Amino acid sequence: MSILIGKETRVLCQGITGQAGEFHTRGCLEYGSQVVAGCTPGKGGQEVAGVPVFDTVCEAVEQTGVNATMIFVPAPFTADAILEAVDAEIPLIVAITEGVPVLDMVRVYEKVSGSDSVLIGPNCPGVITPEECKIGIMPGYIHRKGSVGVISRSGTLTYEAVWQLSNLGLGQSTCVGLGGDPIVGTSFVDLLRMFQQDDGTEAVLMMGEIGGTAEEEAAAVVAQEIDKPVAAFIAGRTAPPGKRMGHAGAIISGGKGAAEEKVAALEAAGIVVAESPADMGHAVQRAMGQA
């Protein structure tokens, strides 16, 4: 079992005719994902990597029955692409694109909230259910099928954690990159609840970072609703206030978002927090041992 995606997921790629879109469509196909349609306005009728391209998302849905989409369109057009996917009632929308204006996301968030679609991202590595389906840009081979759910705000740090887990023999049920922007479609809280419901998930590893209060909110939910073991790591303990650490969302501002507060909130909720990024895999082992 898994969350969000599995063997049966039928994937659309918006922006498939772009360099990144084509490259990662091939990568997902190689991993075994069913990428069955692409969409680029004005390029309908073409084929990319053997996948038919449509002008609109609606056509792609009608003709191929896609139920998930990954978005690679350039940042100025990403909000529009997400809204088109929401309009076409695609259940899962994964926006990989980095650099989407925050106020675009304010509008997108409102529309997604009022719909039945789930949005992951933007500015994220994507979602993977090992050995079944990969939607995104992560290297597939580092993953192993298993029962640890992984949630993270960053890309390569997630790969690092997954690598540690796989090397310890701990496979993953599903790994989700939330995205590094101030406003993203799905939070730790939403995914913790999904993993709690998922029979295939025995433990959860969450990787947060400085900025915002998403980790504190997650801690509150873990304390009240989650009875599976949870481990965590917070990146940016040494980051100075007022400086943006690469991710638009990773900034300590107005006295909020420092790592210490997050670690304290997580530990108070009974979460095993790894002090070192080298210790994320072991933290999951410790959390599972305690439970």
One of 11, 247, 269, 283 touching another protein (CB under 8 A): 247
Q: Does the protein bind another protein through residue 149 (CB under 8 A)? A: no
One of 6, 62, 65, 102 touching another protein (CB under 8 A): 102
Q: Does the protein bind another protein through residue 13 (CB under 8 A)? A: no
Compute the least distance from the CB of residue 180 to another protein, in Å.
Answer: 6
Q: Does the protein bind another protein through residue 250 (CB under 8 A)? A: yes
Closer residue to another protein in complex, CB, 224/276: 276
One of 5, 9, 12, 27 touching another protein (CB under 8 A): 27
Compute the least distance from the CB of residue 193 to another protein, in Å.
Answer: 17
Segment 209 to 238, residues that bind another protein, using CB under 8 A? 209-214, 217, 233, 235-238
List beta partners, residue 128.
134, 175
Instruction: Single out the catalytic residue among 24, 143, 247, 282.
Output: 247
In this structure, the dihedral spanned by the alpha carbons of residues 36, 107, 122 and 45, taken in order and rounded to 10 degrees, is: 30
Instruction: Tell me if residue 143 is catalytic.
Output: no
Which among 39-47, 58-66, 263-271, 273-281 is the span making contact with another protein, rule CB under 8 A?
A: 273-281
Which among 8-16, 31-39, 168-176, 271-279 is the span making contact with another protein, rule CB under 8 A?
A: 271-279
Segment 57 to 76, residues that bind another protein, using CB under 8 A? 75-76
Closer residue to another protein in complex, CB, 121/211: 211
Q: Does the protein bind another protein through residue 139 (CB under 8 A)? A: yes
CA atoms within 13 A on the CB side of 213: 6
Closer residue to another protein in complex, CB, 49/58: 49
In whole angstroms, what is the distance from residue 40 CA to residue 223 CA?
A: 44
Q: Does the protein bind another protein through residue 107 (CB under 8 A)? A: yes
**Footprint of another protein (CB under 8 A):** 23-24, 27, 75-76, 99-107, 109-110, 137-139, 141-142, 152-160, 163, 180, 182-183, 207, 209-214, 217, 233, 235-240, 242-250, 254-255, 275-278
Active-site amino acid positions: 247
